[in-house]
Amino acid sequence: MLSMAIDNHTNIEFLILPFSSKPDDKLLIVCVFSTVYLLGILMNSVVIAVICLDVHLYSPMYLFFCNLSVIDICYTTVVVPKLLHILLSGNGLVSFTQCFTQMYFFFTAASAEVILFFIMGYDRYIAICHPLHYHQILSMRTCTLIMVIMWVCAFINSSFYIIPLLNVTFDRVVSLHQFFCDAITVYNSSHGGANDFFVVICIECVLFGLCPFFCNLVSYIKIFCVIAHIKSEEGRRKTLSTCSSHLIVMMIYYSTGGSHFMSSFYHTGDLLNQVLSMFYSTAVPMINPIVYSLRNNEIKKALQRFC
């Protein structure tokens, strides 16, 4: 059934219409996206290399940092190179297979990042609220298994998200006012025919939106209660600094991703939608290593040792 649905759509093409059609604007956009992409790849690659090469960083927290950098590289690599090709060649036509492949891997990275934010929040909860049992609960073997399960769940979840779109009816050429094949934008540009997609969206919002968010919220309420009982001001400051980066990155991701999701469904405007999706899919992966990893004293010391 799946192969039949794909065969029925093989003659469909998607026309990506990013931002503006003016040549001068395209040149500026190419420069901006190239710079953001290269900086993001460079910084995340440095984080991965430092963590893998320094034995002092072989701990659960840095394993999570490493996976976050891998996810951020996947995010931008799925989107930006194809966008640059479209802008430089002037040909925005993308085949049905290419479009759905891009959607699949993009949503795989998104699913993995949401799961990882939840795991990192739990890591901070154990480290602050149950420090004596930290290495017993989160051993390296357990954390490695958790990371494998995270990626498997991300790939499976992406399949459940994409499959309902195969039953949607499209024109021969579908215009997308977006800079990549975004699932909601693709659905909004169709003639409908897949009510299952809305059911999947609702399930995704609960399982990969509200549940991780509220679990992290409960964890941080307990963390702040523990911090409030620390008598030393210096101790409170140091304890709070260990989870501040996670809070900042998580708030940026949820606010931009949630805003993009709402603007896509309520049709608030093509330009606003593209700006929001651009920020959380290309800018946030560049910000993450700065906020999360390069502010970490242990990673900075390891980087200094290599330099």
User: Are 176 and 182 within 8 A, CB to CB?
Assistant: yes
Q: Which amino acid is at 156?
A: I
CA distance 249 to 229: 26
Q: E strand or H helix at 16, and its extent? A: strand 13-16
Q: Which residues of 27-41 are buried (b: 16+ CB within 10 A; e: fewer)?
A: eebeeebeebbeebb
Output the pTM of the full model.
0.87
Residue 135: CB partners within 8 Å, gap ≥ 6? none
- pLDDT, residue 152, reads 94
The Cβ of residue 177 has, within 10 Å, a number of other Cβ atoms equal to 17
Q: Residue 153's pLDDT is what?
A: 92
Amino acid identity, residue 34?
S
pLDDT of residue 294: 62
265: number of Cβ within 10 Å? 13
Please enumerate in sequence order all residues whose Cβ is within 8 A of that of 86, keeping only pairs 6 or more positions apart, or say none.
Answer: 16, 18, 92, 94
For the chain, the straight-line distance linking the first and the last C-alpha, in angstroms and rounded, comes to 55
- 196 close to 122: Cβ distance less than 8 angstroms: no
For residues 38 and 149, what is the distance between their CA atoms, to the nearest angstrom?
30
The C-alpha atoms of residue 208 and residue 205 are separated, in whole angstroms, by 6
Give the strand pairing for 13-16 and 93-95.
antiparallel
Contact 115, 212 (CB under 8 A): yes
Pairing type for strands 173-176 and 13-16 reads: parallel
Q: How far apart are CA 282 and CA 78, in angstroms?
A: 10
**pLDDT value of residue 193:** 59
Dist. CA 112–CA 130, nearest whole Å: 26
Pairing relationship of beta strands 173-176 and 93-95 according to DSSP bridges: unpaired
**Average pLDDT along the chain, 307 residues, taken 10 residues at a time:** 50 78 69 88 88 82 88 90 86 86 91 90 87 86 92 91 81 81 81 71 81 86 84 78 78 76 63 75 81 72 78
Strand, coil or helix: what is 252? helix
Other beta carbons within 10 angstroms of residue 133's beta carbon come to: 10
- pLDDT for 4 equals 46
Instruction: Give 271-274 contacts, CB < 8 A, sequence gap 24+.
Output: 271/19, 273/177, 273/178, 273/185, 274/18, 274/19, 274/177, 274/178, 274/179
HSE of 90, CA atoms in CB hemisphere, 13 A:
4
Structure-token pair, residue 296:
């970490």
DSSP 13: E
What is the rounded (10 degree) CA torsion for 158, 192, 176, 13? 80
State the pLDDT at residue 16.
85
CA distance 204 to 215: 16
